[in-house]
Amino acid sequence: MRIALLESYYGGSHKAWADGYRRFSRHEIDLITLPTQFWKWRMQGAAITFARLLDAKPDLILASSMMDLSIFRALTRERLVEIPIAMYFHENQLSYPQSRRQNHGWRYGFINYVSALCADANFFNSQFHRDDFMAQLPRMLKHFADYNELQTIDEIRAKSSVLPLGIDLRRFDEHRVRRQETAMPLIVWNHRWEHDKDPATFVESMIALAAEGYDFQLAITGERFGELPGSLAKAQSHLGDRILQLGYVDSFEEYARLLWRADFAVSTARQEFFGLSVCEAIYCGCIPILPDRLNYPDLVTEELKPFCLYQRDRLTAQMRYHLGGDLRLDTTKLREKIAAFDWRLMAPQYDEALAALANRHRAQRDQRHSR
């Protein structure tokens, strides 16, 4: 098939996903993208731009969720009415607490809702994400005065499924370095430097552990948008002698070597629908130290959950447990679990799911035309 992939926020994990699927798919993937900036405008205006840019007629359209599919459908109805469209949900605005607090209210969550309603199929990057989206929909719809259209939730649920994020994990293999067993433990925090990843909690925990005399080093990586967050500036001033890396690592080779050297990968995220950076770290042998919420429990094998998942404010206690003893965890099965997300295994699943959608759509179209 020829698939047009519409990605309105072409950067970070969105870019890795789009590029990865194009590289490993058996289908012909045409990427149509917009830069990673002005996310609110992307949510509202990207559909208009994509309607103009998509001049060919593909067999299927795969659209990332940061756009208003209802607008795109309306603007392309004459030339693309017979083309099936699938939405891929990396994240959704219904689950962000700040979206409900800000004066735009439910605007962006409503865009996700009508897009899911307009799509022929919806794919979520995790079961947690799908379940959370369905749970949030009635909360939003009941917010409105009347005609809540709650029955549409069942319509959306019926055409929604899980298609985990594909990751090019095997590219880490060629940069593998041996951990030094006698070296000071290295803790990595490899997330976006934004409030929903809660860097403040991570930094406060590390300062507390340092004050208690635990030996460790830090690598604080991830993309930075705007000024240095206050919490990470605090890390620089209080933990500077322990920090091996502070800031985004431009070289993939350097980033991969850093993960292979690290002992622990910590997350403090308040919002996470899959966990790409954690998966990369686990694949490279890091022991994950993760909050027992969001999609994280699904990334950890059952036998390791007591050692890897912490409750609420128990990060410091969990790290004491690991830094203060001789505990050695066998992470073989955990790494195997994460390795299943490699694109070489995931791309065929994407290909089959999208081919099945196209075939169903074609059969329904032929049935309509035969009447």
CA-nearest of 211, 368, 200 to 220 is: 200
Model confidence at 179, pLDDT cuts 50, 70, 90, reads confident
Instruction: Please give the order of strands across the beta sheet that includes 85-89.
Output: 28-33, 2-7, 60-64, 85-89, 121-124, 160-162
Amino acid at 327: L
Rounded Cα distance between 92 and 292, Å, is 20
Model confidence at 224, pLDDT cuts 50, 70, 90, reads confident
CA–CA–CA angle 308, 309, 313 (5° rounding):
125
More confident residue, 270 or 106: 270
Rounded Cα distance between 35 and 12, Å, is 11
pLDDT single digits (tens) 344-367: 999 999 999 999 999 998 888 878
Rounded Cα distance between 229 and 268, Å, is 15
pLDDT > 70 fraction of the chain, expressed in percent and rounded: 95
At 76 the pLDDT is 96
pLDDT single digits (tens) 193-213: 888 899 999 999 999 999 999
Rounded Cα distance between 262 and 310, Å, is 20
Rounded Cα distance between 344 and 256, Å, is 19
Rounded Cα distance between 342 and 171, Å, is 10
- 251-280 CB burial, b ≥16 within 10 A, e <16: eeeebbbbbbbbbbbbbbbeebbbbbbbbb
Task: With a cut of 50, say whether residue 305 has pLDDT above it.
Answer: yes
Rounded Cα distance between 137 and 44, Å, is 19
At 226 the pLDDT is 66
Average pLDDT over the chain, rounded to an integer: 92
Task: With a cut of 90, say whether residue 223 has pLDDT above it.
Answer: no
More confident residue, 106 or 342: 342
Q: What is the mean pLDDT of residues 38-66?
A: 95
In the chain, what's the furthest Cα-to-Cα distance?
78
At 284 the pLDDT is 97
Rounded Cα distance between 181 and 124, Å, is 39
Lowest model confidence (mean pLDDT) among 87-96, 203-212, 321-330: 321-330
pLDDT single digits (tens) 125-165: 999 999 999 999 999 999 888 999 999 999 999 999 999 99
More confident residue, 229 or 237: 237
At 98 the pLDDT is 53
Model confidence at 269, pLDDT cuts 50, 70, 90, reads very high
Task: With a cut of 70, say whether residue 99 has pLDDT above it.
Answer: no
Task: With a cut of 60, say whether residue 10 has pLDDT above it.
Answer: yes
Beta-carbon neighbour count of residue 320 at 10 Å?
Answer: 16
Rounded Cα distance between 195 and 231, Å, is 10
Rounded Cα distance between 118 and 51, Å, is 15
274 with 245: CB under 8 angstroms? no
> pTM for the complete prediction?
0.92
Q: β-strand 60-64 against 28-33: which pairing, if any?
A: unpaired
Lowest model confidence (mean pLDDT) among 42-46, 243-247, 325-329: 325-329
Q: Kindly state the DSSP code that residue 129 receives in the 8-state scheme.
A: H
Task: With a cut of 90, say whether residue 235 has pLDDT above it.
Answer: no
Q: To which H or E segment does residue 220 belong? A: strand 217-221
Q: β-strand 160-162 against 287-291: which pairing, if any?
A: unpaired
Rounded Cα distance between 199 and 205, Å, is 10
